[in-house]
Amino acid sequence: MEGSAHTIAKRTLNTATAAANNAVAITLAAPGVGFRHVIYDLQVSYDIDPDSIPAVGGITITEDGVLVFDVDITKSGPAPLYFRDGLEFADNAAVVVTLIAGGAGVTGKSNFQSA
């Protein structure tokens, strides 16, 4: 069933854990014509401060492969990011949220609520 113009996709909770030294990405597949994704909040954490090693973690968000959000995370967390009205994406766009590797031996977690 196709939605009307700018229908928001079904709301979901997305979680992922990055093994030490690795980034983790959560992909929201294109929801279909007439639908779009919205991210309402993001919670990320590392098990140690990325500043304590020669690397800095972070979060990136891409929309159909184009970078639309990029922020460094310099403390272990949790680091909450709230999007007051939601971070809304284009109609039928795939979205990828990536928690950047925090460095050697650092485990990261990413949780976000989206529609």
Q: What is the pLDDT of residues 27-54, one digit of tens each?
A: 888 888 998 889 888 888 888 765 566 5
Residue 2 covered by a domain: no
pLDDT of residue 80: 81
Residue 75 covered by a domain: yes
How many Cβ atoms are within 10 Å of 70's Cβ, its own excluded?
Answer: 12
Burial class (CB in 10 A: 0-12, 13-18, 19+), 45: buried
> Who has greater pLDDT, 1 or 73?
73
Query: Which SS3 state, helix, strand or coil, does residue 21 take?
Result: coil
Quote the number of domains for the chain. 1
Query: Which SS3 state, helix, strand or coil, does residue 84 take?
Result: strand
Q: Which range of residues forms the domain containing residue 75?
A: 7-114
Residue 42 covered by a domain: yes
> Who has greater pLDDT, 65 or 45?
65
Contact 41, 82 (CB under 8 A): yes
Full-model pTM: 0.79
Q: What angle do CA 43, 87, 34 make, to 5 degrees?
A: 125
Running DSSP on this structure, what letter comes out for residue 9? Answer: P
Residue 87 covered by a domain: yes
Average the pLDDT over 12-30 and give the result. Answer: 74
Residue 100 covered by a domain: yes
Q: What is the CATH number of the domain that holds 108?
A: 2.60.120.380
> Who has greater pLDDT, 41 or 4?
41
Residue 1 covered by a domain: no
